[in-house]
Amino acid sequence: MNTFKDVIGHEEIVNHLQNAIKTNKVSHAYIFQGEDGIGKNFVANIFAAALLCSEHGTNPCTKCKSCLQAVSGNQPDIRRITHEKASIGVDDIRLQLNNDIAIKPYVGPYKIYIIDEAEKMTEQAQNALLKTIEEPPGYAIILLLTNNSNSFLPTILSRCVLLNFKAVDKNKIKQYLIDEEHIVEYQAQISASFSGGNLGKAIKYATSERFVKMKEDIIHLMNNMEGMDLSDIAEAVKYFSENKSDILDCLDLMLLWYRDILMFKATQDGNLLVYKEELSTIKKQAKLTSFEGLEQIIQAFSTVKERLNANVNFEVAMELLLLSMKESYQ
């Protein structure tokens, strides 16, 4: 079973929650906000287990009956709100929360309700929840997990403690991937850099064969970029068309390459690169590009994303990007 010691990053949130337990000042309602994969569920599960632990510490003891029930998903005082439709409707809230909350905890001091993807609550569902949040029983704690708290009614926001899950330091993510997932350092470095500080995404990237293959394809493309002719560009456009569902990841991998070129050109320090194993090529390409040219190509990536969002012809947008990339080498 995990404890707060297993949380990577999010130190301020962990300190806040542990201090609330220690001082017996736990709020009746929290909003855990952060992108998917950032660790909201992980922390919510640990927080719930700690609140109900028989040892009454600021961490789950991992050994008592309550902790063992929590890890198996059978703790009767931890309730997860589920929904079958695309949205969380008023009936989901009424049946699983409002009608249940009047029943006192079965064994622990608290009864905890976890609503994942809480941004999917309809306005009617939020209004139904609001009545409970306004006058909750003393033992009730509601955790709203969301990637967008702006979707909540102002009246709900004003009655909850908002905790923002921010990006985790990429070096901590890298070390976790090496130590816990047994990922080789180079792959861990790229996955950590590419994750944007999201541990869940980093694990997915590091352990996904599809992502590893895509990364290798992009590195091959970038290694040969300055010598490409029109037939090579056509082949690359064909590759992107066949991998359209992953195009944003492809673009971000390519953008990382150019940021490496820019970094090396500015510092001459290969240790600062994400693509460390491609140092010789990056060093060569850094000599062939100007700072102005690199800035223009980095801007071209923003432009192509805007074009794709605007439903401009996919092949044309990618061909223009690749031509701009090739032209950036003098």
CATH of the domain at 323: 1.20.272.10
Q: Enter the pTM of the model.
A: 0.75
Is there a single domain that holds both residue 143 and residue 280?
Answer: no
What tens digit of pLDDT does each residue of 184-233 get? 888 898 888 888 899 998 998 888 888 888 889 999 999 888 888 888 89
Q: Is the dihedral of CA 130, 134, 136, 138 positive or negative?
A: positive
Is the confidence at residue 326, as pLDDT, over 90? Answer: no
Model pLDDT, residue 113:
95
Is there a single domain that holds both residue 16 and residue 148?
Answer: yes
Tell me the C-alpha distance between 290 and 299, whole Å. Answer: 14
Structure tokens at 26: 């736990």
Radius of gyration of the chain (CA): 24
For residues 252-280, give the mean pLDDT. Answer: 89
Model pLDDT, residue 293:
87
Residue 169: inside a domain: no
Band (330; pLDDT cuts 50, 70, 90): low
Residue 261: inside a domain: yes
Structure tokens at 60: 């789950």
For residues 321-326, give the mean pLDDT. Answer: 87
Is there a single domain that holds both residue 16 and residue 160?
Answer: yes
Residue 106: inside a domain: yes
For residues 298-327, give the mean pLDDT. Answer: 87
Residue 83: inside a domain: yes
Is there a single domain that holds both residue 219 and residue 285?
Answer: yes
Is there a single domain that holds both residue 159 and residue 235?
Answer: no
| Last residue of one domain, picked from the residues 164, 188, 221 | 164
Q: What CATH number has the domain bearing residue 41? A: 3.40.50.300
| Last residue of one domain, picked from the residues 105, 134, 164 | 164
Q: What are phi and psi of 54, to 5 degrees?
A: -65, -20
* Residue 48 and residue 82 in contact, taking contact as beta carbons nearer than 8 Å: no
Band (59; pLDDT cuts 50, 70, 90): very high
What tens digit of pLDDT does each residue of 147-173 get? 989 999 999 999 999 999 999 999 999
Model pLDDT, residue 174:
93
256 alpha-carbon distance from chain centroid: 18
Per-chain mean pLDDT for the chain? 91
User: What domain range includes position 100?
Assistant: 4-164
Residue 275: inside a domain: yes
Structure tokens at 310: 């605007």
What tens digit of pLDDT does each residue of 126-137 get? 999 998 999 889
Is there a single domain that holds both residue 16 and residue 115?
Answer: yes
Alpha-helical (H) ranges within the chain are 11-22, 40-52, 65-72, 90-93, 123-134, 154-157, 170-179, 185-194, 199-207, 209-223, 230-242, 247-267, 279-288, 291-309, 314-327
Is there a single domain that holds both residue 227 and residue 160?
Answer: no
Is there a single domain that holds both residue 106 and residue 230?
Answer: no
Residue 192: inside a domain: no
What tens digit of pLDDT does each residue of 80-91 get? 999 888 889 999
Which positions ≥6 away from 37 have C-beta within 8 Å? 198, 199, 200, 201, 204
Structure tokens at 174: 């890298």
What type of residue is 139?
Answer: Y
Residue 312: inside a domain: yes
Structure tokens at 215: 């990364």
Tell me the C-alpha distance between 47 and 34, whole Å. Answer: 17
| Last residue of one domain, picked from the residues 111, 141, 164 | 164
Model pLDDT, residue 44:
96
Structure tokens at 110: 């608290």
Band (274; pLDDT cuts 50, 70, 90): confident
Q: What are phi and psi of 142, to 5 degrees?
A: -115, 125
Model pLDDT, residue 199:
93
For residues 39-56, give the mean pLDDT. Answer: 94
Structure tokens at 173: 């993510």
Structure tokens at 37: 């994969």
Domain count, the chain: 2
Report how far apart, in Å, the C-alpha atoms of 209 and of each of 183, 189, 240 are: 13, 16, 18
